[in-house]
Amino acid sequence: MTLRGRLTAAFLAVAFGPVLLGAVFVASTVATVDRSRATERLAVAATAVRTSIDALCQQLRAAADAVALAADQAGAASQMVSRGLAAAVVVTEATGRISYATADAPPAPWRDCTASTPPGGTVGALAVRVELRDSAGTALGTVTAAQPVDPGLVARLAAVTGVAVTLLDGAAPPIQVAHTTESAGGRDAVLAAAASLGEEGVTGTPDGRYVRRAGPVAGQPLPLVLSVPSDQPPGLYAVLVAVVLLAAVLGVAAAWRLARVATRPLVELAGAVDRVAAGDLTARVPVRSGDEIGQLAGAVNRMTRETGGYLAALASSRDQLRGHLAVLGDTLASTHDLQRILRVILHSALASTGARAGAVLLTEQGGVLVAQCTEGLDGCWPGTGSPRVPLGSGVVGAVAATGQPSRGRMEPATVPSGEPGCRTYIAVPFAAPDARPGEAGPAQPADGAGPAVEPAGPAVGVLALYDRLGGEEFDDDDLVTLRTFAGHAAVAVDNVRIHEEVQRLSLTDPLTGLWNYRYLRESLRREVERASRFGRRVSFLALDLDRFKKVNDTYGHAAGDTVLAEFARRVRGEIREVDLAFRHGGEEFVVLLPETDTRGATIVAERLGAAIRDTPIIVVGHAGVRKAIPVTVSIGIAVYPDHADTGQQVLEAADEALYAAKAAGRDTWRVAAGADGNADPGTAGAGSTAARVTPPTRELPVPVAACSPGDGLPRAGLGGDPGAAITPDEPAGAGSAGTGRTGRAGGASSGPHPPGPGRGR
């Protein structure tokens, strides 16, 4: 049921209900009053009828007594009739013979005034019988005085009582009307009502009359019915029904009008709300009045306008965030430049939270946070250079150490030492996605409930923002947003490190940690091109362990692997950081010496041979038995461009020199033949000290710059240190480094250096 229908029904119940109840009350009251008055009139009439008939009977008794006492009974009877005290007098002897009777006696049967039972037939007259007795009390007969019961008697009774009187004929059922003063139309209704009544009961007839029985009882032996018409106005019920119907029509009309007036704004409001729900924020509700409904319409309009403003701001913020995420996604997908990725993450976090400044700091060895990129902190961070914060120091250091985010407000006097001055701050740690428990796992709240929060324990880095625009503190929503960007930062750092590790693994030998053959080919091309461009030399050493197959056959392949790993470690310990060592395959190795001539290469070969020869390699055999294995190495030397015009040719020349060293008895070095086919001076080296040339030497420094190589390839070497090369295309002002090594002056190679503990000679 609609609201309009309910309002209409409610109005009708409130307005029409009292009218209907009033009409019912009036009708019932009028009917009750009318019945009460009719009952009272009928009771008075019944009393009057009884009194009248009783008076008539007393008159008849007096007439009979007068005749019985008279000496001349016939004369007395005639006198009683002539005087109208009786209509007839009958004198009867003791034997039952009538001795005298007046003329014009009423028809039988005569009803004795003392009878109280209904008559068995039609009553012809009322009679009183008096016995005749002598002085001795002997019955001599009876004197009966009678008065006819005819329409005249009924009319007189009606006149005395003021009601209609009907005499019933009880001769045989069904009961009939003997005499009545009722109209012909009401006679049957009165007769039907009288058939169901007792002596004292009152009932109504369909035509609006009230009926009551009066007799027969003692002193009134006639079966009479008294009836009176209703006193209520004619057509009262019709008028009441008409009034009720008119009130109903008017009530429905008024209710419909009021319901329409009341529900129309609600319908308009519902329509506007539906349009707003469908996305139309231009929908407005007409304000037609200043009542509560008008106030509701105004409130809905204000809400719609404000919602439109909020949605516009939200859409703008969403588009802005979507743009930042798109840039962030493109950056993550298209580059492994960690600095660029962190810069994009920081800018996106600043734009999303409305912060004025911020920084991304990564944890480095030594327990120090180093700022990788900053924004808006020029002159705010104390000190010079890249900001550095010890773990556990200040806000940022505590966040990195505990792995728990922090936000709040600081007074200028309470700014921790070593951190930028700010009013408000928020800092969120981030850890590598593959953090294990005990490293940087998720920390639970103190009560054990709720979702996991930031990882507990030292973090990989911290994303910190300062001074939210407007001066407000950062809230929980900013914390959630910053956690998202911190997650991106963690993924970026992890991806870059994984990428570098994958590149390193793809270019290094897993057993020895030296560069592999793939990187040898790349380095060969690059160093030859650089030497050709700057007019410098590059030396190549081809190394091969002597009789290595015997080591495997004698001690096993595990011992052979130990020998190879130790050999690689010693090689790394004897070369510069700018030199490159490669495992060519099996027990064959290559060492590339940028900015080195033949003389410098022979010095390196001598040092390598001595480092391998002088100290046997210790291996652990079966049952933990330690054995010392003597190892020697043969070395072939070739120099670009002295011995060949291309990198591959130089490598082949070094291999030929290696074969020459093998043929010369191993544990020695040989220099490849020159371009004219003649061996260079001093091209032979021996395993004995007497056969070796020991030229005078001097140490030359090689400058090192902290920058990435031009080819973008990762460095392999001591601890993965990224700062072991100088700019590739700018010649340095220093010559070759290394004790006893000579060569042409020039910059050091920018290629990656091999891993290992050794740096220099």
> How does pLDDT run across 197-231, given as a tens digit for each residue?
766 678 888 777 888 888 788 777 888 888 888 87
State the pLDDT at residue 643: 93
User: SS3 breakdown of the chain: % helix, strand, coil, rounded to 5?
Assistant: 45, 20, 35
Instruction: Tell me how crowded residue 414 is: count the other CB atoms within 10 A of its CB.
Output: 7
β 209-214/202-204 pair status: antiparallel
Question: Measured in Å, how far apart are the chain's first and last C-alpha atoms?
Answer: 100
Cα 110 to Cα 87, 123, 221, distances in angstroms: 12, 6, 11
Q: Report strand pairing: 669-671 vs 633-640.
A: parallel
**What three-state secondary structure class fits 434?**
coil
Beta carbons within 10 angstroms of residue 33's beta carbon = 12
All domains of the chain, ordered by start, with CATH? 3-229 (no CATH), 233-321 (no CATH), 335-504 (3.30.450.40), 510-697 (3.30.70.270)
Distances (CA, A) of 206 to 180, 196, 230, 413: 19, 14, 11, 108
Please provide residue 723's backbone torsions phi and psi, each rounded to the nearest 5 degrees: -105, 55
Distance CA 730, CA 750 (A): 10
Specify the pLDDT at position 710: 42
Structure-token pair, residue 374: 């900053």
| Residue-level pLDDT at 434 | 58
For residue 553, give the amino acid letter: D
Average pLDDT, the chain: 77
Per-residue pLDDT, 338: 79
* Contact indicator for 405, 427 with CB cutoff of 8 Å: yes
What's residue 417's pLDDT?
65
Q: Are strands 110-112 and 125-133 parallel, antiparallel or unpaired?
A: parallel
Contact 201, 213 (CB under 8 A): yes
Evaluate whether 738 touches 576 at the Cβ level (below 8 Å). yes
Burial class (CB in 10 A: 0-12, 13-18, 19+), 421: middle
- Angstrom CA distances, 294 to 273, 289, 290, 299, 306, stand at 15, 5, 5, 9, 18
| Residues 705/725, Cβ–Cβ less than 8 Å | yes
Query: What's the chain's Rg over C-alpha atoms?
Result: 69
pLDDT of residue 437: 39
C-beta separation of 596 from 743 below 8 A: yes
Q: At what angle do helices 647-663 and 517-534 cross, to 10 degrees?
A: 110
Beta-sheet strands, E only, within 346-423: 355-364, 368-375, 388-390, 406-409
Q: What is the pTM of this model?
A: 0.41
The predicted pLDDT at position 540 comes to 95
Percent of the chain with pLDDT over 70: 79
CA atoms of 395 and 419, how far apart (whole Å):
8
3-class DSSP state for residue 632?
Answer: coil
Q: Could you list the mean pLDDT of each consecutive 10-residue stretch along the chain, which spans 761 residues? A: 72 75 81 85 88 89 88 86 89 86 86 78 85 82 90 88 84 68 78 74 82 81 85 75 82 79 80 85 83 84 86 75 69 72 85 86 83 78 66 84 86 68 86 52 39 54 85 82 82 80 82 91 92 93 94 89 94 93 93 95 96 92 82 96 92 95 95 64 41 39 38 39 35 36 36 35 28
What order of strands is seen across the sheet that includes strand 355-364? 388-390, 368-375, 355-364, 461-468, 424-430, 406-409
Tokens of 563: 């020998």
- 52-62 burial, b for 16+ CB within 10 Å, e for fewer? bbeebbebbbb
Segment 49-59, tens digit of pLDDT = 889 988 989 99
Helix locations, 170-291, DSSP H = 184-195, 236-277
Backbone angles phi, psi at 425, to 5 degrees: -150, 160
State how far the alpha carbon of 460 is from the alpha carbons of 66, 493, 718, in Å: 150, 8, 22
Q: Other C-beta atoms within 10 Å of 651: how many?
A: 22
- Among the listed residues 587, 506, 174, 175, the one whose alpha carbon sits nearest the alpha carbon of residue 166: 175
Closest by CA position to 493, among listed 604, 337, 344, 639: 337
d(CA 202, CA 222): 18
Strand spans (E) along 641-728: 669-671
